[in-house]
Amino acid sequence: MSVTYELVKKCSKTGARAGRLHTPHGTFDTPIFMPVGTQATVKAMSPDELKDMGAGIILSNTYHLYLRPGHELVAEAGGLHKFMNWDRGILTDSGGFQVFSLGALRKITEEGVAFRSHIDGSKHFLSPEKATQVQMALGSDIIMAFDECVPFPAEHDYARESTERTTRWAERCRQTHTRADQALFGIVQGGMYKDLRSMSAKDLVSLDFPGYAVGGLSVGEPKPLMYEMLEHTVPLLPEKKPRYLMGVGTPDCLVEGVMHGIDMFDCVFPTRVARNGTVMTNWGRLVVKNAEYARDFRPLDDKCSCYACRNFSRAYIRHLFKTDEIFGLRLTTIHNLHFLLNFMREMRTAILEDRFLDFRQGFLAQYNR
Amino acid sequence: MSVTYELVKKCSKTGARAGRLHTPHGTFDTPIFMPVGTQATVKAMSPDELKDMGAGIILSNTYHLYLRPGHELVAEAGGLHKFMNWDRGILTDSGGFQVFSLGALRKITEEGVAFRSHIDGSKHFLSPEKATQVQMALGSDIIMAFDECVPFPAEHDYARESTERTTRWAERCRQTHTRADQALFGIVQGGMYKDLRSMSAKDLVSLDFPGYAVGGLSVGEPKPLMYEMLEHTVPLLPEKKPRYLMGVGTPDCLVEGVMHGIDMFDCVFPTRVARNGTVMTNWGRLVVKNAEYARDFRPLDDKCSCYACRNFSRAYIRHLFKTDEIFGLRLTTIHNLHFLLNFMREMRTAILEDRFLDFRQGFLAQYNR
């Protein structure tokens, strides 16, 4: 099997677990945060900067790459790894989330989703087969089944129908998928309904995917409801397979996700807020553009060892933001990704030393936003 | 003296010369190209990337830093080097060129220039004394006298009055300047009039500055006229002092400047066109956004050893530009600066090996734009 999960240590008090993910492009420690490189680039970053901070797997987007530059072109280039010069892991999502987000621009049928490009309005059609073929052309290490992310809120009837269709689509993806050097993960849906989560997990597990994502969370629901769904869903997934919580990347949600037994996360949050001048620290967020930092010559976070914090002051980075200089958002992006990757490493160490619950309590006590 | 020029080798057939510039922040080979970091950052670049490509001195702008973040703040930070984490050379211009470029927003008197900020319209006044004080606060290694760049075209009468005032202002700068760890350069003006260039050079040389710039060129005049002015002016400057041609940075002009005995250059050209998707090569310019490069998997320049050319294809960089990704303009900026710095090194080697004229002819024969 192209991607396998190795369980290294289980927390004695929670569902948290430390492991390793073996892929055709290297072995990566879990729990892991995957920086998002939507368009074959993690915004503002170079591959070397990502490596320097210890990034293992990045996520890229089938929807965007299908439209630009096109999956055939990426295949001609030798695949996504070569095209973007990234020799570590790549996970691509299926494009499902993006086409469903198009709202009035898309139409769902059993066959798939007809949609218009958000760029030029051109007509396209994504189906389980097509999404799988595109991802095979991209050559990512992990590809995702084409699913519908049940919106929040959703009626039980709609959520059930959607979730059942997602399972039928997952099977079609599996039948289409032929590349031995990449792994196809299934995505558990079910909205905020435990019975549907159970149904989805059971049906997908019977299809025996090499890994499972929990989808349809972090879509606007209250955080306690997300944690409740996680607590219910994760135990339904096989212990020997990796578990991926899609679209989650704030420190508090990462801690809770890890506690419930999640191994993999991705989110645009750290890079998106960075480009807006907001940085993450152990005590919460800091908006470096604020006037209070104009003459603050301390680093963003004096406990941080990232390139930005080792070399530049809040005052300088604020100046870069006030003058619209690109280097400013490069520095905040570096900081936020370094912060999150380091945060994951700290959680892993805590699990290995069987003190994860203490780590979580210590973190929550000082995290104020 | 804080900044001294060491003449290493003179070309036997032209005015070209190889030397070394000793500054409080290191010794740098000349002829040298200085990347422009207008607002205390070379746009899109990190200091480390600049060092990796062998950049020695960068240029920053008094006008911009005076307005944002303010020179007092930079002084509080420990000076410009520390503020922007650049421990090699820095040259600051005087702000003269920028305030004169404000057109209707400024008014010139003998005392100085009253102007309104291009950012918020606030009122300011720059004089020779003030421009010198601001640059002393910034702490750059080389500071420039506050001058008026004679516009092109200009009547002889206006050019003469302006040039005479520039000399009076240069003397006021010299009287204001007290920092022993930085050098104040005079700027030869005179428009496109040889008699005025002679007068300006003579007057400034009598003030005995540690270095001289040739200003007021590359302001819209035909290139042959610029070369004629250089040919006339440079021999009027002392051989033992460094010579700086302001605002010049295209390969053809650099070759001609070096041939006429110029040691230092700066220009926004390589970084500005890079952000627009245009790259410089030995055979001319390449517009990487063009459709013809969509499936071109070769590097920007297969003879180039920069980070961009070693790792990424034209097709990938084009994709980044088409999708407005910051990493695209990072790569083209790296390429263009690496190209120019390398070009300067090649010229220096040619001078040292007394084959500069051959180098120039070989370059001009293949440079088609």
- H or E stretch including B32? strand B32-34
Residue B257 marked ligand-binding: no
Checking if the pLDDT of A369 tops 60, the result is: no
What average pLDDT does this structure show over A237-258?
Answer: 97
- The HSE-up count of residue A134 (CA atoms within 13 Å, CB side) is 28
Checking if the pLDDT of A265 tops 80, the result is: yes
Active-site residue list of A: 93, 266
Other beta carbons less than 10 A from residue A131's beta carbon: 30
Q: Residue A211: which residues within 8 A CB-CB, separation 6 or more? A: A3, A5, A142, A183, A185, A186, A241, A242, A243, A244
- The HSE-up count of residue B316 (CA atoms within 13 Å, CB side) is 30
Which pLDDT value is given to residue A45?
Answer: 98
CB B333 within 8 A of CB B43: yes
**What are the two backbone dihedrals, phi and then psi, of residue A49, each rounded to the nearest 5 degrees?**
-65, -40
What are the angstrom distances between the C-alpha of A241 and each of A91, A244, A261, B206?
A: 16, 10, 11, 81
Long-range contacts of the stretch A351-359 (C-beta < 8 A, 24+)? A351/A9, A351/A10, A351/A11, A351/A16, A351/A17, A351/A18, A351/A258, A352/A8, A352/A9, A352/A18, A354/A9, A354/A11, A354/A12, A356/A11, A356/A13, A356/A14, A356/A16, A356/A258, A356/A259, A357/A11, A357/A13, A357/A14
- Sign of the four-CA dihedral A245, A128, A22, A138: negative
Report the residue of B323, B324, B333 to disrupt the A interface, i.e. the one with the largest count of A CBs within 10 Å: B323
- pLDDT over 70 for what percent of chain A? 99
Checking if the pLDDT of A368 tops 70, the result is: no
Q: What is the ipTM for the molecules in this complex?
A: 0.98
pTM: 0.97
CB A179 within 8 A of CB A141: no
pLDDT in tens, chain B (369 residues): 689 999 999 999 999 999 999 999 999 999 999 999 999 999 999 999 999 999 999 999 999 999 999 999 999 999 999 999 999 999 999 999 999 999 889 999 999 999 999 999 999 999 999 999 999 999 999 999 999 999 999 999 999 999 999 999 999 999 999 999 999 999 999 999 999 999 999 999 999 999 999 999 999 999 999 999 999 999 999 999 999 999 999 999 999 999 999 999 999 999 999 999 999 998 889 999 999 999 999 999 999 999 999 999 999 999 999 999 999 999 999 999 999 999 999 999 999 999 999 999 999 998 865
Residue A97 marked ligand-binding: yes
The DSSP 8-state label assigned to residue A245 in this structure reads E
Question: Distance between the two ends of chain A, CA-based, in angstroms?
Answer: 41
Checking if the pLDDT of A283 tops 90, the result is: no
Determine, for residues A316 and B76 on separate chains, whether the beta-carbon distance falls below 8 Å: no
- Sign of the four-CA dihedral A328, A332, A337, A339: positive
Distance CA B33, CA B19 (A): 13
Q: How confident is the model at residue A104 (pLDDT cuts 50, 70, 90)?
A: confident
Which pLDDT value is given to residue A367?
Answer: 83
Which pLDDT value is given to residue B368?
Answer: 65
**Nearest residue of chain B to residue A73 (CA atoms):** B295
Which of B47, B69, B318 lies at the smallest CB-CB distance from A294?
B69
Six token digits for residue B161: 């009055």
CB A165 within 8 A of CB A111: no
Distance CA B43, CA B299 (A): 22
Checking if the pLDDT of A336 tops 70, the result is: yes
Checking if the pLDDT of A260 tops 90, the result is: yes
Checking if the pLDDT of A1 tops 80, the result is: no
Find chain B residues with C-beta within 8 A of A69's C-beta.
Answer: 294, 315, 318-319, 322
- pLDDT over 90 for what percent of chain A? 96
